[in-house]
Every structure is written in structure tokens, then in C-alpha cells.
Amino acid sequence: MAELVKMRNIFKTYDGVRYVLNDLDFSLESGKVAVIYGESGCGKSTLLNVIGLLDNCTNGSYSFAGIRIKRNRLNSYYKYRAADIGFIFQSYYLIESLTVSDNMMMPFLYGGSISCADISRLIDDTLRALNIGHLLMKRAGDLSGGERQRVAIARAMIRSPKLLIADEPTGNLDEKSTELVVDSFRRISLNGTAIVIVTHNRRLDFCESEKYFLSDGRLHRC
């Protein structure tokens, strides 16, 4: 299977002195799951931002879906971020004044020919898979932290992106909710979505995943 993400000799520095990413190599095929562990401040979020085309690397080679990514031209790749990459952030980024249903509609604002009926069905199915179908018409600002997290996860998955990027996706969830998230991740990976997860949770069980530890700016196989 072709590599969806291919990074070679990636460097990232913010001050020209300390390298957060230091000659890092990473690749991931479609349908595969990579779990990255690491201590706080080791550069996990920086790595996710570079992979997700939210930030430039300082030097190195990065190809996404066969397209060579040019540094300092991230604005030209907004279509990839919108259509091909799903993001799960620790801070959720839900619009609190809107309902869960309206928040789930956001990924469809960037184009596509899917009908309103199909969107509605997708929203219902995705929320039910995470056991939050009953939250459909609730205002996002009225949800608990765990409910917000599951809505954010559902929103990131709903368009079956080529790549799903998850920053501590189960940090505020109980064991049962974590199992639902893991099962949902497995299901979309079987349909071809590549997943990159960063977490402190060593108990997050993806037996079939590729596991790494980020240290000194480089990825080390676990």
C-alpha cells in the first residue's frame, strides 16, 4: 500500500537554537495506525501540526498523498486540510453557541456533492457509534467535558478523511467511552483512513498499531 505520509530529515526550530524536531523520519500508509508517546514538552503537538499542514518544518522533505509539500506555502494546501485531514484537538474547538448537529455540519461547509439527507444520516450514525446520539440538538456549551470530547471526535471522523490526527483523544473519557472511541478508530482505519495519535495513556490499546516514543526530536520504535 502506498505511503500517505512520508517525512524525511525533518527539522523544526522556533528560535534557531533548540530543535524541537531533529532529523526526524516518519511514514504511514493508508489504513494504518501510529501511536506516539512522549513526555510533556517533547514536541508531540509540534509534530502533529507539521503532519497536519498547520505548521511548516524548518527543513526536510514531506509528501502527503503523493504531493510534495513546499515549506512556507501552507495556505495553498487548505483544501487538503479541509477535505482530507480530520483533527481532534485537546481543546475541542466546538462552537459553543451552536447545537451538536450544527457543529457536526461544519466539515461539510468546505464543498462536496453529498446531499443534506446523506449528511443527516452520517451525523446520526457517527454520533450513535460513540453513544452520544441523544446529544444531537443540545447546545455544545451545555455539554460536559467528556461529551464535548466525543462530539469533537465524531466531527473529525464524519467525512472519513484520508488522515485522522488525534491529540490525546481519550484524555477526559472513562473506560467505556474510551473503548467506543478505539472501536470507531479501528473501523475507519479498516476503511482506509490513516490515524496518528499522540497520548500519555500507555493503556490505549491498538494492538495492530505502530508504536513510537518521541525523544530528543526523533521517533524511536517501541
pLDDT at site 100: 98
What cell does 179 get? 473503548
CATH class of 3-221: alpha beta
Per-residue pLDDT tens digits for 90-145: 889 999 999 999 999 998 887 667 888 999 999 999 999 999 999 999 999 999 99
pLDDT at site 80: 81
- The DSSP-derived string for 55-111 is S--SEEEEEETTEEPPTT-GGGGHHHHHHTEEEE-TT----TTSBHHHHHHGGGGG-
pLDDT at site 198: 92
**CA neighbours closer than 13 Å in the CB half-sphere of residue 107:** 28
pLDDT at site 103: 96
Arithmetic mean of pLDDT over the chain: 91
Is the model's pLDDT at 21 over the cut of 80?
yes
Distance between alpha carbon 82 and the CA centroid of its chain, in Å? 12
pLDDT at site 13: 96
Per-residue pLDDT tens digits for 50-87: 999 999 999 999 999 999 999 878 778 888 888 899 99
Contact 7, 53 (CB under 8 A): no
What cell does 91 get? 481543546
pTM for the structure as a whole: 0.91
